[in-house]
Amino acid sequence: MENACKNVYITTPIYYVNDVAHIGHAYTTIIADMLARYSRLTGANTFLLTGTDEHGQKIAQSAEARGKTPKEYADEVSGKFKALWDDFDISYDKFIRTTDEEHKTGVQKAFEKMYAKGDIYKGDYEGYYCVSCETFFTEKQLIDGEFCPDCGKPTHIVKEESFFFKLSKYEDALIKWYEENEDCILPRAKKNEIINFVKGGLKDLSISRTSFDWGVKLPESVNEPKHVMYVWLDALMNYITALGYGTTEENMHRWPASIHLVGKDILRFHSIYWPAFLMSLDLPLPKHIAAHGWWTRDGEKMSKSKGNVVNPKEVADAYGLDAFRYFMLREVPFGQDGDFSQKALMDRINSDLGNDLGNLLNRIMGMSGKYFDFKITSKDVAKYHQKELDEVNAILGNVEEYIYNMQLNRYLEEIWKVLTIANKAIGDYEPWAKMKEGKEDEAMALVALITNIVAKVALLLDSVMPEKIKEVAKCLGIAIDTTSYTNLIVNKNLVQSTTITKIEQLFPRIEEMLLQQAAPADVTQNQTELEAKEKKTQKEEKKDEDNLITIDKFFETSLKIGTIVEAEEVPKSKKLLKLQVDLGEGKNRQILAGIKEFYTAQELIGTQACVVANLKPAKLMGMLSEGMLLAAKDENGLNLIRPEKPKTIGTKIS
């Protein structure tokens, strides 16, 4: 990642205007804003891009259902996204829309260059198309031969003339890029998934449509007026058209992107299609593509039907925007799925923010006012507290690496170690006792040490909680700017003297939840009765768990050895892997197994497992599961039950 004084270009995905902004959108955008604010503070020439993706068949259909034109509908939803980011004080430098004329012109210029290079050709396309996901699937990938494997909605066969991008041409070049750039995809574990996918072979990509017209037209030079560009070619180009590609070129010096932030569901498009497009355009590739996980609520997947979708604006309004930002960045390691609960948020506010940071600031105000008329000098800090200064400087001197490696929770954990040093020093040195003993210089040194620690921490937390840190800076009499950052963090100097100003309590304690708990939308008057029956059934089942069965009863279960021939993650699921298992039946079984926390999809391919083969098929997340794998789980984790040596597929277990 770039150092200070160099270009730092950060992007969010452009959000699709067929939905309202949810916690996932807020998470991505807050991360991007944090990176941008930190980079600006260090003196880097920073540019933050966000925006909305507004073309495609799904938008046209949604607009028609509401009696609006596609542009009217896109204006409305895009406006809501922009208003939310403005409410959240997101420090974006440009908000791009794919309906912007400059964007459309830039995309057409890119198409022309690829076409002239021979990377685009015309052909015919036929496939199963999911309008909701804007994605084509093979018949083998469908559920019950009809339903989308990602969202569970019906697909339909699309056969139409199309222009294709020669994606297969760039297969080797992509592999070379992945292998030569260790951190091009973050977290690094995600890169292995992408490499394996590309090594499996890439097919040329359909990049135009004739079945609808809400999209960017092909350039006039191609003379194909009935075609519009497919959404991914259109959308991905925003990262360069926002810099003036194909038009003014005014900001193209900022390319390549320092970091593209994406959700894990769109990592494949950004790490395969996008770099291939850039190679075709002879442009440098992005330095990092970082994919984060999804959010659940109170351990459950969020859905409108459950009534548990987290509205980020409501949370921020209730608990404070800065507290919400801190929680999102601290609560979960980047790349992993996270869970939102009000209890967890309250714990972070009351403990981390209220006790560790807020109370420390209160003690500075109290001690400086009581002992020194709010005037602090640091002349004796090094004399009495060099040990603590060395510890603080050692920690803070290494925190930047966590930011640019997308270990944001670790960044905050390290900063909190510094706050622990400060709180511990007060107990260890007892400035009130020093004052009674007449050792005012030692007491002053201690209060000045704490003041300097909080000043350094404030600089590093400005990107996380900018509004609250303004209050801290006011209290300590410091400026939050590049000069202070260089002085206190880079050069490890101290605030030589300052006057403390009293401020209101930074994070008042929260005793009860401030938002109404979500209740499922289909709750009825019989819910309590149903829950009681369910608990009774569970108790009865528990009683029967250890009951003995006859041998005949056991042999009603058909157990067979199967080989896992394909495996992939189930989008939006923390636990499920979708497996294709060969049981020697002439057709693979699709089995959904809740083992993603213990096995990766890739490591299962080619291995054998014990399968319950006569289990009644069931649907999970809209997908058919035709069996179950046997596994054992204890405090040390979960392991699949496997044959000691490879067995013929379909072998019965007895």
Query: Annotated binding residues, as ranges?
Result: 130, 133, 148, 151
**Is the bond leading into 256 cis (omega within 30 degrees of zero)?**
yes
Work out whether the CA dihedral 220, 221, 223, 227 comes out positive or negative.
negative
- CA dist 574 and 625 (Å) reads 17
- CA dist 457 and 399 (Å) reads 11
- Residue type present at position 614: N
Residue 633, SS3 per DSSP? strand
Pair 155, 137: CB distance under 8 Å? yes
Pair 12, 239: CB distance under 8 Å? no
Token readout for 490 is: 């880079």
Separation in Å, CA 95 to CA 107, 149, 242, 370, 534: 17, 33, 9, 50, 50
Separation in Å, CA 17 to CA 21, 36, 249, 582: 9, 24, 27, 41
Q: What share of the chain is helix, strand, coil (3-state, %, to 5)?
A: 45, 20, 35
Provide the annotated binding site for Zn(2+): 130, 133, 148, 151
- CA dist 510 and 487 (Å) reads 36
- CA dist 283 and 654 (Å) reads 61
- CA dist 212 and 426 (Å) reads 69
Pair 577, 593: CB distance under 8 Å? yes
Pair 99, 60: CB distance under 8 Å? no
- CA dist 209 and 213 (Å) reads 8
Pair 412, 328: CB distance under 8 Å? no
| Dihedral, 341, 263, 638, 531 alpha carbons, nearest 10 | 40
In 3D space, the residue among 64, 16, 18, 20 whose CA is nearest the CA of residue 213 turns out to be 64
Pair 158, 136: CB distance under 8 Å? yes
Residue 564, SS3 per DSSP? strand
Pair 465, 473: CB distance under 8 Å? no
235 CB contacts (<8 Å, ≥6 apart)?
14, 53, 55, 98
Tokens 């020194």, residue located = 372
Residue 358: what are its φ and ψ, rounded to 5°? -60, -45
Pair 360, 476: CB distance under 8 Å? no
E-strand stretches of 182-325: 185-186, 205-206, 208-209, 228-229, 259-263, 289-292, 295-297
Q: Is 384 exposed, middle or buried (0-12, 13-18, 19+ CB in 10 A)?
A: buried
